[in-house]
């Protein structure tokens, strides 16, 4: 259950925060007392997110160094610090390694991995000045197993998990915890590129056949996990890839 005061006085930043898991996390953080800044490139969705109590919006492409630097500087100037960072921006496109275009491969890595490097590069010094903080990256079950038809996404999410572990090892003694969450099937529209041509009934049949829980998860279930990892309840958890997949990977 949400704890209305768990993040009171904290400043949180959520990238890819205007949709899906990011938006659900922003709502949850704000509902538990944080002041949240969502970063996204979708102007309409950002405007809607900014209508949530406790949520501000900032437009930036987090795969672009200059835009990240400007966005983080503006957040710190306005709010004074950053206590929590949820690196959630992501990209998924289908295509085997012989089919995917080099530009598409590069863009996937830019959004899925470089964005996290750039955000951490700017935010970690802020957290160090503040005595610590919590970073939660959105990885995926796709980063844990090999999957057909999505080599760029599959490998990039493996990189996210390893980046998470490296950062945890590097900064634990300085009070910064770094973890990642590995969602399974979540119906946000993000997975549409790999579900093209399947009806809703066919998707449901696939989920029932492969997920022991027999259903997809919800953005709110992932948000609850992100908030746990960002909270004092997880004070001794760092470098962990927490799987939230209804048992999907346990059955593989």
What ranges do the domains of the chain cover?
11-242
* Distance from C-alpha of 39 to C-alpha of 41, rounded to nearest angstrom: 7
Phi and psi (nearest 5°) for 200?
-60, -40
The mean pLDDT value for 62-69 works out to 98
Q: Using alpha carbons, list the distances in angstroms from residue 121 to 43, 70, 90.
A: 25, 13, 18
- pLDDT of residue 46 exceeding 70, the answer is yes
**What does the pLDDT read at residue 2?**
73
pLDDT per position as a tens digit, 105-146: 999 999 999 999 999 999 999 999 999 999 999 999 999 999
pLDDT of residue 138: 98
Poorest-pLDDT segment among 47-56, 63-72, 82-91, 185-194: 185-194
Edge-to-edge strand ranges of the sheet holding 84-87:
55-59, 35-40, 11-15, 84-87, 133-138, 176-183, 241-244
Given a cut of 70, is residue 197 above it in pLDDT?
A: no
191 pLDDT higher than 90: no
Report which of residues 195 and 90 the model is more confident about: 90
Is residue 77 scored above 90 in pLDDT? yes
Residue 98 pLDDT more than 80? Answer: yes
What pLDDT is recorded for position 1? 64
Judge whether residue 195 has pLDDT over 80. Answer: no
**Mean pLDDT throughout 22-30?**
98
pLDDT surpassing 80 at residue 250: yes
Does the model's pTM come out above 0.85? yes
153 is catalytic: yes
From 109, 153, 171, 236, the catalytic residue: 153
What mean pLDDT is reported for the chain?
Answer: 94
What fold, for 11-242? Rossmann fold (3.40.50)
Range 163-169 average pLDDT? 98
C-alpha–C-alpha distance, residues 24 and 16, integer Å: 11
Q: What is the pLDDT of residue 10?
A: 98
Q: Write the pLDDT tens digit of every residue in 147-156.
A: 999 999 999 9
């Amino acid at each position: 259950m949400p704890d209305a005061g768990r993040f009171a006085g904290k400043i949180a930043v959520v990238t890819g925060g205007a949709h899906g898991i990011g938006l659900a996390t922003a709502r949850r953080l704000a509902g538990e007392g944080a002041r949240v800044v969502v970063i996204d490139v979708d102007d309409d969705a950002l405007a809607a997110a900014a209508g949530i109590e406790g949520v501000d919006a900032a437009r930036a492409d987090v795969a672009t160094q200059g835009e990240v630097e400007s966005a983080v500087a503006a957040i710190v100037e306005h709010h004074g610090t950053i206590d929590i960072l949820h690196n959630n921006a992501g990209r998924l496109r289908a295509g085997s390694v012989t089919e995917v275009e080099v530009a598409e491969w590069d863009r996937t890595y830019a959004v899925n991995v470089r964005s996290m490097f750039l955000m951490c590069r700017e935010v970690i010094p802020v957290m160090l000045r503040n005595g610590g903080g919590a970073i939660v990256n959105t990885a995926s079950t796709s980063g844990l197993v090999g999957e057909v038809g999505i080599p760029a996404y599959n490998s990039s999410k493996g990189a996210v998990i390893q980046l998470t572990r490296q950062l945890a090892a590097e900064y634990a003694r300085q009070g910064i915890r770094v973890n990642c969450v590995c969602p399974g099937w979540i119906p946000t529209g993000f997975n549409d590129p790999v579900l093209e041509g399947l009806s809703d009934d066919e998707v449901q049949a696939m989920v029932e056949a492969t997920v022991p829980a027999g259903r997809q998860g919800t953005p709110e279930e992932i948000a609850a996990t992100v908030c746990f990892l960002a909270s004092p309840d997880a004070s001794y958890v760092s470098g962990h890839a927490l799987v939230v997949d209804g048992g999907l990977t346990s059955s593989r």
